[in-house]
Amino acid sequence: MSTNSIKLLTGNSHPELANLVADRLGIELTKIMVLQYSNQETSVTIGESVRDEDVFILQSTKPDDINDGLMELLIMINACKTASARRITAVIPNFPYARQDKKDKSRAPITAKLMANMLQTAGCNHVITMDLHASQIQGFFNVPVDNLYAEPSMLKYIRENLDVSNCVIVSPDAGGAKRPRTNLGVSVSATAIADRLDLQFALIHKERARPNEVSRMVLVGNVKDKVAIIVDDMADTCGTLAKAAETVMQHGATEVNAIVVHGILSGKAIENLNGSCLKRIIVSNTVPLGDKIERCDKIKTIDISPTLAEACRRTHNGESVSFLFSHTVG
C-alpha cells in the first residue's frame, strides 16, 4: 500500500531553508547523500524509498556555486524519477539564470529556457518558484509553474517595522514600475506595494551600459522628508542599489531602506552596502546568506519558508495556491 505522502529532499545549497520548510510541514527531510567525487562530479544517493511518493526537491543556489547546485538538483530529480516517484516537484526559490531570458544580443543564449528544458528532461513534473525575474519564464516550461510572491511577506514586514504613514515607495528600475498594477501575475512590483500600502510612489530611471554597471540615474517623483523604501526583485552586487539610495538621499529623503526578494549579494555587495547610505536592506531567505549578516548589520531577513511550505502542502493536497499570492500564512 502506498501512502503517497510528501517527501522533501534537499541538496547542499540551502539546508536551513529546507529545515524550516520541513518543520512547517511537520515532516522529516528525506535522508539523502549528496557529495562530490574526487574529480568534483556530483553523486546523489537517496536513502529511503520514494516509490509512488509525492516528492518535493528544494534547492536554492549559492552564489559562486550555482552550477554545482544546479547539477545537484538535476541529478536529484533524475534519481527520484528512476526510483519511480509518482510526482517530482522542484522547489526553486530563486530560479537560476533567470536574467538570461531573452536574446538581447546576436547569438546570446536564452539560458533560462535551457534551464526549463533541462529540468523537464531530468524528469521534473512541477515547478514552484518565487518572484521570477520575468513571469514569461513560466511559458518556457511545458509543466505547470507556480510563481509565488514574497510581496505579502514584504508588506507585513513594512507594516510591522516601518512608519508606514511617512513612507514613499521607490522603484529603482523603470521596468519595475511598468509592470501591471495588479498583484496577480506580477513580479515584485513597486507600484503594487505602493497601492496596497496606499503610499506615494517614485521611480528611478537608469541607463545601463552593461550588466551590473549603471551609468546615470534620474529620480522621478517626490521623496522629500520621507522614508524611502526601494523595492526590487534581486540585489546582486548592490552597486545599483547603493547609487539609487544616494540619488534618493540627494533628493531630500530622511532615510532610505531597500526591500528585496532575492539577496544574492555576490561580489563586492557587502562593501557596497556598508559604504552606502542605506539604513537597512531587507532580504528574504530564498538565497543562503551565510556569514553576510555578521559582516553587514544593515541586512535584515524575512522568512518566506511558511509560504513555500504552504505551497507544497496545497500542491500535495490538490488545493488552490492562489490564496498565497495575496496573503501570508502563519
Partner 1 sequence: MRGVQIFSGNSHPRLAETICERLGTVPAKANLGKFANGETSVNIDTSVRNQDVYIIQSGSEKINDSVMELLIMISACKGGSAKSITAVMPYFPYSRQSKKKSHRGAITARMLANLLTIAGVDHVITMDLHASQMQGFFGKPVDNLFAEPFIARWIRMNVAGWKDAVVVSKNAGGTKRVTSLADTLKLNFGIVTTDRRRPKVPVATMSDSTVFFDAVDDDSRIAKESQPFELHMHSAHRAPATPPIPEEREPTTPPSERYLLRPETPPAARRLSELEAACEYTDVRVRDVITGRLVQGQLVDDDYRINEESHSGGTTPGAGSSSHDNTDIITDAMANSIISNASSQPPDHALGGSFDAVESDDEASVCGGPTDERTITLVGEVRDRSVFLVDDMIDKSGSWIAAAETVVKRGGASKVYCIATHGLFGENSLDQMEACRSIDHIVVTNTFPISPSMLRRSKKLIVIDVSSLLAESIRRHHYGESVSALFHLND
Residues that bind partner 1 (CB under 8 A): 31, 33, 37-47, 49-50, 62-68, 70-71, 74-76, 78-80, 82-83, 96-97, 99-100, 103, 105-111, 113-114, 117-118, 121-122, 211-212, 236-237, 264, 266-267
Residue closer to partner 1, measured from CB, 45 or 215: 45
User: Alpha helix (H) ranges present in 143-226?
Assistant: 151-161, 174-178, 190-197
CB of 84 to partner 1, least distance (A): 9
Strands 255-263, 87-92: pairing is: unpaired
Closest CA to 225 of 257, 254, 258: 254
Closest CA to 172 of 254, 253, 244: 244
**Cell 542605506 belongs to which residue?**
278
Residue closer to partner 1, measured from CB, 80 or 137: 80
Residue closer to partner 1, measured from CB, 107 or 224: 107
CB of 234 to partner 1, least distance (A): 9
Q: 175 and 189 in contact (C-beta within 8 Å)?
A: no
CB of 103 to partner 1, least distance (A): 6
What are the φ/ψ torsions at residue 108 (nearest 5 degrees)? -75, 140
CB of 40 to partner 1, least distance (A): 5
Residue closer to partner 1, measured from CB, 103 or 327: 103
CB of 166 to partner 1, least distance (A): 34
CB of 24 to partner 1, least distance (A): 25
Name the amino acid, one letter, at 298.
K
Name the amino acid, one letter, at 319.
E
Residue closer to partner 1, measured from CB, 70 or 162: 70
What are the φ/ψ torsions at residue 204 (nearest 5 degrees)? -110, 130
Residue closer to partner 1, measured from CB, 45 or 254: 45
Element (H, E) at 56: strand 54-58
Using the CB atoms, write b or e for 271-289: b if 16+ within 10 Å.
ebbeebebebbbbbbbbbb
